[in-house]
Amino acid sequence: MDKNQLTYHEQVKVDNTLRMREILKTMPGFARDYFRAIEPTTSTRTRISYAYDIRVFFQFLLEENPSLRGKEMTDITLDILDKIKPVDIEEYLEYLKVYQSEDGLKTNGERALKRKMVALRGFYAYYFKREMIKTNPTLLVDMPKIHDKAIVRLDTDETASLLDYIEHAGDSLSGQKKVYWEKTKRRDLALVTLLLGTGIRVSECVGLDIGDVDFKNNGIKVVRKGGNEMVVYFGDEVEKALRDYLEERCGITPVAGSENALFLSTQRKRIGVQAVENLVKKYARQITTTKKITPHKLRSTYGTSLYQETNDIYLVADVLGHKDVNTTKKHYAAMDDQRRRSAASAVHLREP
């Protein structure tokens, strides 16, 4: 098939598959069996993430295991896994907190440590279940504890201020800055309004094609994590922002391969995840200096607002595309600001 005939998501899958093959060339040969086995149940993005995490484990072995000194990663054999003890896994977790990589000094917090441990457990489990190794030391080491953090999101007034700023920031600009703002204002307003009004992921947003927008039913077709398609519905504010942008979009000639893309960069290519993250951060810094607002925080803002308006955690889970409603409960049902704030005035220390 011609590359230009592939959809965005098909092209991402092809690119990730080729990238995965290159990563596997740097790893021990037996690792290919594991990644081939999990292919039917995982996305290419997930497998790449696992591969990077497991490669860090092999890097640790090369640096810390005396029997592997002077060897290459591809020299590691399966029997080495059988010689690893629980204390080695504990040392690995300690190593992960700060270590030197090809790209410089790396650090990992609680969530990253847990993710790398999950990847390693799955890797060991594959060979253990197939009796290719006799031990699984990863099961004898506790998973890193995750401490709950408050959900960062925009308050109602901050949401309004953010959209107002995007729409009117150019009023105080001049020269090239004003020209750039005029060029990107409708796109940025439509993009941020869509994220705030639907809660879709940034990866889902950049993958949207013009044909995925259905104004008859006010819905957009998104491809969720795992490849499932779903229609997410939007309200009047999102509709207006999209229509205004599409009116301008009709006058832009995209570069080859991006003809169907809904959101275009200033280079007339399909906008990327990093570009969306940068523009959200750029605008959000003008609204709040105490909150680090990213596209994912806009998703949290939508989820919080939807839960507070409907008190329906199952609806929130469905709209956000959470496979497990417990994930949604943990993030949204547990935090009810209005209820918590009422506690401040519920207890009187002195009689009025």
In this prediction, residues 157-180 reach a mean pLDDT of: 90
Q: How confident is the model at residue 76, as a pLDDT?
A: 95
Instruction: Give the C-alpha separation, 199 to 310, whole Å.
Output: 15
Q: pTM value?
A: 0.81
- What DSSP state is assigned to residue 71? -
Instruction: Give the C-alpha separation, 231 to 192, whole Å.
Output: 19
The CATH number of the domain covering residues in 3-140: 1.10.150.130
The 10s digit of each residue's pLDDT in 108-147 is 999 999 999 999 999 999 999 999 999 999 999 999 988 8
The pLDDT-based confidence of 1 (bands split at 50, 70, 90) is very low
Residue 276 CB burial class (10 angstroms; 0-12, 13-18, ≥19)? buried
Instruction: Give the C-alpha separation, 238 to 199, whole Å.
Output: 12
Please list, in sequence order, all residues whose beta carbon lies within 8 angstroms of the beta carbon of residue 12, skipping any fewer than 6 positions away.
Answer: 44, 207
Q: Is the pLDDT of residue 344 over 70?
A: no
Q: How confident is the model at residue 308, as a pLDDT?
A: 85
Cβ 32 vs Cβ 50: under 8 Å = no
Cβ 313 vs Cβ 329: under 8 Å = yes
CATH classification number, 156-336, choose in 1.10.3720.10, 3.40.50.300, 1.10.443.10, 3.40.1190.20: 1.10.443.10
Q: How confident is the model at residue 151, as a pLDDT?
A: 77
Residue with tokens 């149940």: 41
**What residue spans define the domains of the chain?**
3-140, 156-336
Q: Is the pLDDT of residue 154 over 90?
A: yes
Q: Is the pLDDT of residue 298 over 80?
A: yes
Q: How confident is the model at residue 105, as a pLDDT?
A: 92
Q: How confident is the model at residue 341, as a pLDDT?
A: 52
The pLDDT-based confidence of 352 (bands split at 50, 70, 90) is low
The 10s digit of each residue's pLDDT in 187-232 is 999 999 999 999 999 999 999 999 999 999 999 999 888 778 899 9
Minimum mean pLDDT range among 27-31, 151-155, 294-298: 151-155
The 10s digit of each residue's pLDDT in 65-124 is 888 988 999 999 999 999 999 999 999 999 999 998 888 899 999 999 999 999 999 999
